């Protein structure tokens, strides 16, 4: 675990999709999600078209196939399990299972592409400007910063542990792990007090000062809208045709 890089599905590339404004990416995602949730499993053309659109987006983002696979493979059990069980049921259950599987993969794929081309901190910044989401975005920033600090503490504790007990027995290992975890939690809580004090001392009044938005290039907005609208239309048409 390296501090600061514990949780990050971002794939560093220089691609049109990476350069696209995050707001435009979110607009595109929103349209795709509506399309994915509207699209039926049968006939499959709408779902296939949406999958193709997703793969197209991944290609524009120059994402290696393993980035998407890495995101989807852990879901195989979560999606495949209920799908497999649904095959044992009646017609309505089987149909529901197909819809479930199709939508799950499409939505998971969409989020996979998004998180591969946009950094969480940047997305949270965008979210922080939205009226209802703003407060939660602030807490999310704190949580992300907390992961960096905690990961650093864990690394240091592991090193200290390795130097003092390179080959511990199971009993020592379990006892020490429990004690170390409790101690780490207490230390981290005490540190969180000081961080809170630091915020208050610098004038924190309950809200993190928002970062003002930069201008949103029309071409970016158009690209996001085009993708979102096209995929939404695919899903809706698939449902109604």
For position 111 contacting another protein by CB under 8 A, the verdict is: yes
CA gap 29, 225 in Å, rounded: 9
Give the binding-site size for another protein (rule: CB under 8 A).
82
Binding part of the chain for another protein, among 141-149, 159-167, 216-224, 228-236 by CB under 8 A, reads: 141-149
Structure tokens at 56: 């197209």
The 51-70 contact track toward another protein, x by CB under 8 A, reads --------------------
Picking from 98, 129, 123, 135, the residue whose alpha carbon sits closest to that of residue 210 is 129
The 192-231 contact track toward another protein, x by CB under 8 A, reads xxxxxxxxxxxxxxxxxx-xx-------------------
Question: Running DSSP on this structure, what letter comes out for residue 166?
Answer: S
Q: Are 240 and 39 in contact (CB under 8 A)?
A: no
For position 238 contacting another protein by CB under 8 A, the verdict is: no
Nearest CB to another protein, comparing residues 44 and 146: 146
For position 176 contacting another protein by CB under 8 A, the verdict is: no
Binding part of the chain for another protein, among 19-27, 99-107, 166-174, 230-238 by CB under 8 A, reads: 99-107
Structure tokens at 236: 């809706």
For position 147 contacting another protein by CB under 8 A, the verdict is: yes
Interface with another protein in residues 76-95 (CB under 8 A): 78-79, 82, 86, 89-90, 92-93
Binding part of the chain for another protein, among 42-50, 144-152, 161-169, 221-229 by CB under 8 A, reads: 144-152
Q: Are 43 and 235 in contact (CB under 8 A)?
A: no
The pair phi, psi for residue 94, each rounded to 5°, is: -65, -45
Cβ atoms < 10 Å from Cβ of 37 = 14
The gap from C-alpha 166 to its chain's centroid, in whole angstroms, comes to: 36
């Amino acid at each position: 675990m390296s501090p600061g890089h514990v949780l990050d599905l971002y794939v560093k590339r220089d691609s049109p999709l990476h350069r696209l404004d995050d707001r435009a990416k979110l607009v595109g995602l929103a349209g795709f999600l509506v399309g994915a949730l509207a699209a039926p499993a049968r006939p499959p053309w709408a779902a296939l078209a949406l999958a193709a659109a997703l793969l197209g987006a991944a290609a524009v983002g120059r994402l290696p196939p393993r980035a998407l696979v890495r995101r989807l493979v852990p879901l195989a059990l979560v999606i495949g399990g209920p799908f497999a069980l649904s095959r044992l049921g009646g017609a309505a259950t089987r149909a529901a299972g197909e819809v479930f599987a199709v939508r799950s993969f499409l939505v998971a794929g969409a989020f996979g592409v998004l998180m591969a081309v946009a950094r969480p901190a940047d997305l949270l910044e965008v979210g922080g400007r939205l009226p209802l989401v703003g407060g939660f975005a602030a807490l999310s920033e704190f949580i992300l910063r907390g992961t960096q600090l905690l990961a650093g503490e864990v690394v240091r504790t592991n090193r200290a542990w390795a130097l003092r007990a390179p080959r511990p027995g199971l009993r020592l290992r379990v006892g020490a792990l429990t004690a170390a975890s409790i101690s780490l939690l207490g230390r981290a809580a005490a540190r969180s007090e000081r961080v809170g004090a630091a915020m208050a001392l610098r004038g924190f009044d309950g809200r993190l000062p928002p970062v003002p938005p930069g201008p949103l290039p029309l071409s970016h907005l158009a690209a996001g809208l085009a993708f979102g609208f096209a995929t939404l239309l695919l899903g809706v048409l698939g449902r109604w045709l």
